[in-house]
Amino acid sequence: MNDFTLFLKKFIRHGTAIASLAPSSRKLSLATVANIDWANTHTLLELGAGTGPITAVIAEKARPDCRIMALERDPDFVERMKVRFANVPNVEVIQGDVRNLPEILAERGLESVDAVVSGLPIPSFPPDLQEALFDNVRKVLKPGGPFSQITEMPWVYLRLYRKYFDNVRFRFEPRNLPPAGAYHCSGPKASVGA
Ligand SMILES: C[S@@+](CC[C@H](N)C(=O)[O-])C[C@H]1O[C@@H](n2cnc3c(N)ncnc32)[C@H](O)[C@@H]1O
C-alpha cells in the first residue's frame, strides 16, 4: 500500500486525529521548515511525523550531525517511517504521544531541543491536550528556538498560535492540494489561561 492510500485509510478511520486526506507535499514540507537556521540546529524534534514527508526534507536540510527525533503516535505510520529512515543514521523514529515530550527527551538524555516542527492536528485537539502540548513545547524548546506548524487552513488559526507565542508569521504555500501553509512561531508565552 502506498503512503497516500495508507494515509487516506487512517483518515477515514480516525478523522480529526489525522486531519488530512494525504501526506504533505514536498513544497509544503519545504515551506514548513523555511524558518529554521540549519547551521545552528543540532537537535530537532518533529511531532506527528505521519509517513515522513517533512522528516525527509528535514533530513536533507539538516547538518549531518543534527539529531532528528520524529515522534508519531500511530503504530502503522511508525513502522513505515522506521523502514523509510533505516539508513539515515541521524533520524530516530519514536512511537509516542506528545503528552509525554519531557519524558521522551529525558529517556534520550536531553532536556531541550533547538527546534520543534509539528504536523499535529492541533486545532482538533481537545482543550486539555492543546494546553498540555504547548506547556510541553515551552518546557522543551530552547529559548529563541523556532516552532513550525503545518496547516491546510491558511491564516485561519493565527489567533490560536498568537495565544501561545510572542512571534507568529504565516507562510502561504499554494502549491499543495489543498493550498496550505505554515505558522512560524517563536517565544512561547510564559503562561496561558484557557
Ligand atoms: C496531519 S497528519 C501530518 C502527518 C505528516 N507530518 C505530514 O505532514 O504528512 C497528523 C499526524 O499527527 C499524528 N498525531 C495526532 N495526535 C498525536 C499525538 N497526540 N501524539 C503524536 N502524534 C499524533 C497523527 O497520527 C498523524 O500522523
CB 10 within 8 A of CB 74: yes
pLDDT-based confidence at 17, cuts 50/70/90? confident
Q: Beta partners for 151?
A: 181
* pLDDT tens per residue across span 67-98: 999 999 999 999 999 999 999 999 999 999 99
Q: How many helices (H) and strands (E) does the chain have?
A: 7, 7
Angle between helices 3-14 and 75-84 (to 10 degrees): 160
- Ligand 1 pocket (Cβ < 6 Å) reads 17-20, 23-24, 48-50, 53-54, 71-74, 77, 97-98, 119-121, 150
Give the model's pLDDT for residue 26: 96
CA distance 163 to 160: 5
**Domains in the chain, start-ordered, CATH in brackets?**
3-14+32-188 (3.40.50.150)
pLDDT-based confidence at 194, cuts 50/70/90? very low
Whole-structure pTM value: 0.94
CA distance 93 to 97: 13
Helix (H, G, I), strand (E, B) or coil at 141: strand
